[in-house]
Structure 1
Amino acid sequence: MSAPITPTLLYLDNVSVSFDGFRALNALSLAVDHAEMRAIIGPNGAGKTTMMDVITGKTKPNEGTALYEGTHDLTSLDEAAIAELGIGRKFQTPTVFEMHTVEDNLLLALKNKRGPLATLFSGIAAQGRERIDVLLERVRLTAQRHRRAGELSHGQKQWLEIGMLLAQEPKLLLIDEPAAGMTDYETADTADLLRDIARSKAVIVVEHDMTFVRELGVKVTCLHEGSVLAEGSLDAVSANERVVEVYLGR
C-alpha cells in the first residue's frame, strides 16, 4: 500500500455534487480523524445527506477529492467496496429484522468469513458468542437478547442497529439523527453509547436536536448550501451570526 496522502481517516476536499442544476454540495471540505466524533448540523437542504451519500459511494461527486485512510479514493469505489473498507451507515429510521431475536440480528450482521447465514444455521461458535455478548452489553440490550426485534422500543431498535453496524467492525460510522423519536432517557443513553464508541472508532453524527449535540460534547460542523458555514465547539458555532440567521434562528 502506498504512503497515506493525509494522516486523517476521512478527507474531503472541494467536493461538489449537482443534480439537474441544483448544487447539493458546493466545494465542501471536511476532515475527520481516527477515533473522533463529529456532529454535523444545518438546515434542510444543507447537503448533510448528500455528504453521507458521497462518503458511502451512493453518489459520485462532479469534482473534488474524497480519501479514506489517506490512500483509498472513495470516488472510484462502489458502495460494497466502501463498506468492506470499514465505513458503516445508519439511517434515521432503524432497519432491523423484526421477526428475528435481538441475538439473531447481531449474528446476521457479524463480520464472519463463513457468511452470516451459514453461521446462523450451524450455531454460534464460542468466539462469535463472546462477540455477541460484548455487543449486547455495549448497546444496552443484554436483557433483551431473546426478544424479537419488533417488540423493542424505538430507541432500543436504534441501539440494535448501531450494534449491527459495530458487528461489521467498521472504522467509521455515519449515524443519521439517532435521537429522533427517543425518550429523554434513551437520548441520554444514546449520547453515552456514541461517546463510548468514539473512543476507538470515528463517528459522524448528523443531528437537529441541539440538546443532544451538546450532550455529545464534540466538535460541530454546520453546513449551509452545500459547504461548511462554521466549525468549532457548539457554543462557538451557535454564536456565529450566519448560523443563527440561516439555521438556529428559524
Structure 2
Amino acid sequence: MSKSGTILYLDGVSVAFDGFKAINNLSLVLDQGEMRAIIGPNGAGKTTMMDIITGKTRPNSGQVFFNGDVDLTKHDEADIATMGIGRKFQKPTVFESHTVEDNLVLALAGERSILSALFARRSSGESVRIDEILQTVRLTHRRDDLAADLSHGQKQWLEIGMLLAQDPKLLLVDEPVAGMTDAETEETARLLKDIARDHSVIVVEHDMHFVRELGVKVTCLHEGSVLSEGSLDHVSADPRVVEVYLGR
C-alpha cells in the first residue's frame, strides 16, 4: 500500500487492553477528499480506531500516517488536533447559554480566551467564514438563538459547524444521526455530502438507511479488523457481515 495521496493510512495496527485485542492487525486507507462509512457491531473496534487516529490511544504495533507522511503515533492529542483532525463525539457538546453564532466564534478563536473572542472586533474574513459555516450546517436562521433552544439534530449540526470552524482536513463523526428525526437524518446526509466536497470524512454509523443515503464506500469492522469493504450492497451481501452484524 502506498501512502501518497492518502489522508489516512493505517497498516497492521493492533492495540490490546488487559490482553484483549480491541484492534487486531487493522489496515485501512482513506484517500484525500474521500468520505467513508464505518459500520460494525458493538465492540468491533470503531471507537478505539478513532481513539488511535486522534492520539488518545497509542497502538502496540502498526503504522498510522496522516496526510501522507505525518506519523500520528509520535504525537499527542493536542498536537493532532492542531494538525487538522477534528472529532465529533456521539453526544453533542455545545455552549448552551451562548447563541449559535457565538458558539462558532468561540470555535474559530482557538487559543484566545472566551472573553476576548466574544468581545473582540471580528475581521471581515471571520464574519464571512461564520456566514459560510452557518449556511453549510443549515443554521443561518437560528444564528441569534441560544444553542439550548435548538433541537437535538440542530445541536449536532452546530457541533459539526464548530469543528468546521477549526478548519480540519479530516473529520471523524461518530453516530451523527442517533436520536434524530427522519427529516433531520436525511438533511444530515446532505450536509455531510456538502462538507465532503472540501474535506475528508469518516462517519461511524449504525443506521443503514443513513449509510445508504451517504452513498459512499463502506468498511465493516469486526473484532478489531476489517471484515468486509466496498459498496453498501457489496458489504450487506457478504455472508460474514450478515452473520456477525446485519443478521442480529
On whether the aligned pair clears a TM of 0.5, the verdict is yes
Quote the Cα distance in structure 2 between the aligned partners of 1:174 and 1:83.
Answer: 11
Q: 1:196 aligns with which of 191, 194, 214?
A: 194
- 1:110–1:116 contact (8 Å) kept in structure 2: no
SS at 2:21 equivalent: strand
SS at 1:195 equivalent: helix
Q: CA deviation at 1:208?
A: 0.2
Tell me the residue number matched to 2:217: 219
Tell me the residue number matched to 2:50: 52
Q: Counterpart amino acid of 1:93?
A: K
Q: Which runs of 5+ in 1 are unaligned?
A: none
**Counterparts of residues 162-181 of structure 1 (less than 5 Å):** 162-181=160-179
The alignment-based identity, stated in percent, is 70
Tell me the residue number matched to 1:101: 99
TM-score, length-normalised on structure 1?
0.96
- 2:15–2:61 contact (8 Å) kept in structure 1: yes
- 2:109–2:117 contact (8 Å) kept in structure 1: no
SS at 1:35 equivalent: coil
Q: CA deviation at 1:121?
A: 1.8
Q: CA deviation at 1:114?
A: 5.6
Q: 1:26 aligns with which of 24, 27, 31?
A: 24
Quote the Cα distance in structure 2 between the aligned partners of 1:24 and 1:39.
Answer: 19
SS at 1:192 equivalent: helix
- 1:135–1:163 contact (8 Å) kept in structure 2: yes
Quote the Cα distance in structure 2 between the aligned partners of 1:140 and 1:81.
Answer: 30
Q: Counterpart amino acid of 2:48?
A: T
Q: CA deviation at 1:18?
A: 0.2
TM-score, length-normalised on structure 2?
0.97
Tell me the residue number matched to 2:232: 234
Tell me the residue number matched to 1:137: 135
- 1:109–1:116 contact (8 Å) kept in structure 2: no
Q: CA deviation at 1:113?
A: 7.3
SS at 1:120 equivalent: helix
- 2:34–2:200 contact (8 Å) kept in structure 1: yes
Q: 1:206 aligns with which of 204, 207, 212?
A: 204
- 2:86–2:170 contact (8 Å) kept in structure 1: yes
Deviation per residue, 1:167-208 (Å, 9 max, x gap): 000000000000100011100100000001111100000000
Quote the Cα distance in structure 1 between the aligned partners of 2:61 and 2:121.
Answer: 47
Q: CA deviation at 1:123?
A: 3.1
SS at 1:231 equivalent: strand
Q: Which runs of 5+ in 2 are unaligned?
A: none
CA shift in 2, pair 1:79/1:179, >3 Å = same
What is the total number of aligned residue pairs between the two structures?
A: 247
Quote the Cα distance in structure 2 between the aligned partners of 1:222 and 1:17.
Answer: 18
Quote the Cα distance in structure 2 between the aligned partners of 1:188 and 1:166.
Answer: 20
Q: CA deviation at 1:7?
A: 2.4
Quote the Cα distance in structure 2 between the aligned partners of 1:235 and 1:55.
Answer: 27
Q: 1:82 aligns with which of 69, 80, 83?
A: 80
